A and B are shown apart, each in its own frame.
Chain A
């Protein structure tokens, strides 16, 4: 079935370094949503991208949606301890309006 592959599974960074997570779908998506889950918490919606090639920014976070609407990325500049958590992408397929979730990328700040 249709999948959304998300890599990497984990990323260890020093505070102040950048972080990027990537999502790839086998088929075209209607839109893609990004969520953040803090340790012990629940997923929280961050942003939704709809248009081909769309780029959106939230402070140090930059979200991109590919031209073919099959891939997306989240880039965090100069990570802070508050960024710790797992970042999920979730792609919406046109056929039945159901979200297909990536496996998540866990951001870990090295002590």
Chain B
């Protein structure tokens, strides 16, 4: 069974550039989550979608961050413009229902120079 698929696995770019992270959830899962993980702040929930609708985006750091889920099999997290402090590992996770165990992708390691 295919798990949660994230791309790219690694991204290195210069500050000011636009960054787009992609996620394909497990087929049949109706909840999707974007997380950011750093040594300093740990694992932070950025946004939660249910049935493709954003339910809680209170964790999105600022207006430079945006997330979309145009259909049940695809989501993007965009940072524009990017800053060095955005460097982190970004995880996408999905679950069958919002209260069920979450399945994580391998993450995108983002470095903003």
A residues in contact (CB < 8 Å) with B: 30-31, 33, 41-45, 48, 88, 92, 96-99, 101, 103-104
- Interface pair A104/B48, CB less than 8 Å apart: no
Contact B107 A101 (CB under 8 A): no
11 A–B contacts, CB within 8 A, in A order: A41-B106, A42-B91, A42-B105, A48-B101, A88-B43, A92-B99, A96-B56, A97-B97, A98-B48, A98-B98, A99-B102
Q: A42-B107, A101-B42, A101-B43 are in contact. List 10 more A-B contacts (CB 8 A).
A: A30-B99, A42-B91, A42-B104, A43-B93, A43-B104, A45-B101, A45-B102, A96-B55, A96-B56, A98-B45
Query: How close is A109's CB to chain B, nearest CB, in angstroms?
Result: 20
A residues less than 8 Å from B43 (CB atoms) = 43, 88, 101, 104
Residue A101 contacts which of B45, B97, B103 (CB distance < 8 angstroms)? B45
Expressed in whole angstroms, the Cα–Cα distance for A88 and B101 within the complex equals 13
CB neighbours (8 Å) of B106 from chain A are 41-42
Shortest Cβ distance from residue A37 to the other chain B in the assembled complex, whole angstroms: 8
User: When chains A and B are docked, how far (Å) is the Cα of A84 from the Cα of B37?
Assistant: 19
Given A97-B98, A98-B98, answer yes or no on A44-B104 (Cβ-Cβ < 8 Å).
Answer: yes
Residues of chain B contacted by A42 (CB below 8 angstroms): 91, 104-107
Residue with the greatest number of chain A CB neighbours at <10 A, chosen from B55, B101, B105, B106: B101
A103 adjacent to B42 (CB under 8 Å) = yes
Q: Give the Cβ gap from B20 to chain A, nearest Cβ, in Å.
A: 20
With A and B bound together, what is the CA distance between A44 and B106 in angstroms?
Answer: 10
Q: How far is the CA of A45 from the CA of B97 in the complex (A)?
A: 15
